[in-house]
Chains A and B, each alone.
Chain A
């Protein structure tokens, strides 16, 4: 078992003919993902890595029954790519693109509320259900099928943590990169709700960072409702205030959204916090 993606995932790649789109289509196929279609307007009829390319989402969905899409188009075209996927009946949209204006996400998330459709990202590395399916750019070789769920606001840091979890002899159920932007489609709590019902997930690791109060809200949720053990890692302890640390969402504004504040709330709510990625994996190992 796993959440969001599995063996039944039928993936459509938006922007499949681009450099990143075609490269990662190959990588995802190699991992075993069922990539059924690609879309690039104007390039319908082509094939990329044996995957048929269509001009529109609606045509592609009709012909291939794709239920999930991953977006590799440049940021300025990503909003329309998301709307098109939602209108075509895609149930899960994973947006890898980085650099969407925040106000676009205000509109997109409101639009999706009335649809049976979930957005992961933007600015997300994607997600992996170990041994079943990979949607996005995460390096497949570091994952091993197992019982730990991972939710993270980051990309490479997620790989670092996953790698440690694999090296201590554990494995992952599903690992989700929710994205480093201030407003995102799927938050920590949304993922936890899914992990709560997933029989194969026995523990969850939350990888957070400075900026906003999502981690704080999540900690309160864990304390009240979430029964499985939860572990945490927060980065940006050494980040200066008012400076954007790469991710658009990673900014300490004034005195709020600091790593210290988040770590404190995590601990108060019973989440075990590691000081280093290695320590987090060690803590999980001791528990399971």
Chain B
């Protein structure tokens, strides 16, 4: 799960990581009041959308007077960045920047350890640096059982800053970043850039925190930060029903059990010249009701012209899936043809249940994908 910059900064504040004076606003009036009464002018107006490249898209502007505050607020609150409409902005104190650095933390899949990453170049996407000059990224690993020891935080500070006072200030920020990462089941926590201002103080100018979906059950306060408006409605609905759905741009709707097989099904449709409309995993022990819910979500996508069921029964019983299809046919007005490949546990029962349902059956997933594509024409 991702949160907005302003939400990440609230968490930073709780942990004592210094941030600029800021206020989140939802309309132009709020921006004008915040800028003139609380933050001060000049100020920075920053679009709150959960995608990178806000600056390049014109979503971050420095307003030098009241007219500019109003103009930029109007412009940014009306714009779309990578297709996402901007509904909130952050009005932030203008900081005169002396230097910029990067500080970030993740769980590294390869070493199976938590790793703190520091780079003397801030404000640039870390992935770009990782590709172009990986040697510029300094990595310090936490001990999984002891934690991030104080001398490691100092090591980070001394790598980024020559002056001891600043280095130790940075060490303190590093320690806090580690603590919030671990305590909140974060999957990425990033300060980019970490700046030194004119007075020599360190400030987290931007903030990014992603959370491990698997850890959310123990952090209801984080779950409540979820911005439902910025997520796809059907993906949210699917998650609430324990289904895993991702919308794509094609027209062949896929219903599959298991994430790997679901990806393989999408790839196969594409391989034979079609375009998958979605990723949809109905999970392991699927009940008829779950299948019906899945079809309901799938059919909200008006691009879907054919439905392709690909079920490899193990724990999933094919007769459960068949009953779900029957139930869905009764309740939902399904006009699209359904191609079904149901194999494994209780496949014979499934065939019996569906023999008069008007489905097109295939033996293999290759045949199923080809048939679905054929039906488009």
List residues of chain A with CB under 8 Å of any chain B CB: 20, 23, 75-76, 99-103, 105-107, 109-111, 125, 137-139, 142, 152-160, 163, 180, 182-183, 207, 209-210, 212-214, 217, 235-240, 243-250, 253-256, 259, 275-278
Contacts and interface: CB of A to CB of B under 8 A. Distances in A.
Closest 8 CB pairs of A and B: A154-B260, A246-B259, A156-B258, A157-B260, A110-B144, A101-B215, A235-B263, A156-B261
10 contacts: A76-B218, A102-B214, A139-B344, A139-B345, A160-B365, A244-B213, A246-B244, A276-B271, A277-B365, A278-B366
Contact of B312 (A159, A207, A247): A159
Given A156-B261, A209-B260, A239-B263, A278 B364 contact: yes
A160 B314 CA distance: 11
B276 interface: yes
A80 to B, nearest CB: 14
Given A139-B345, A159-B314, A101 B212 contact: yes
B279 interface: yes
Interface stretch (B24-32, B39-47, B105-113): B105-113
Given A101-B215, A103-B215, A110-B144, A254 B276 contact: no
B255 to A, nearest CB: 13
Contacts of A109: 112, 144
Contacts of A237: 267, 270
Given A110-B143, A155-B284, A256-B127, 6 more contacts: A103-B185, A109-B112, A155-B314, A160-B264, A183-B112, A212-B110
B112 A106 contact: yes
A42 to B, nearest CB: 23
A138 B143 CA distance: 36
- Classify the secondary structure of B's interface with A: mixed
B187 interface: yes
Interface of B: 107, 109-110, 112-114, 125, 127, 143-145, 182, 185, 187, 212-215, 217-218, 244, 246, 248, 256-264, 266-271, 276, 279, 281, 284-285, 312-316, 343-345, 364-366
Given A160-B365, A246-B281, A235 B315 contact: no
A159 B256 CA distance: 13
Nearest to A99: B214
Contact of A245 (B262, B268, B315): B262
Contacts of B213: 244, 248
A209 B263 contact: yes
Contacts of A20: 285, 315
Given A155-B314, A238-B248, A238-B267, A105 B259 contact: no
A111 B214 CA distance: 21
A235 B264 contact: yes
Contacts of B364: 278
A245 to B, nearest CB: 5
A213 B256 CA distance: 26
B260 A247 contact: yes
Contact of A103 (B212, B246, B313): B212
B267 A154 contact: no
A240 B246 CA distance: 9
Contact of A102 (B215, B256, B258, B344): B215
Contact of A235 (B127, B215, B260, B312): B260
Contacts of B107: 102-103, 106, 182-183
A137 B313 CA distance: 11
A275 B267 CA distance: 9
Given A235-B263, A245-B263, A155 B109 contact: no
Given A276-B271, A276-B366, A157 B258 contact: yes
A55 B366 CA distance: 48
A150 to B, nearest CB: 13
Contacts of A105: 112
A183 B269 CA distance: 30
A182 B261 contact: no
Contact of A249 (B109, B144, B267, B315): B109
Contacts of B143: 110
A180 B283 CA distance: 13
Given A154-B258, A158-B260, A243-B246, A106 B279 contact: no
A146 to B, nearest CB: 20
B242 to A, nearest CB: 11
Given A107-B145, A110-B144, A155-B314, A217 B110 contact: yes
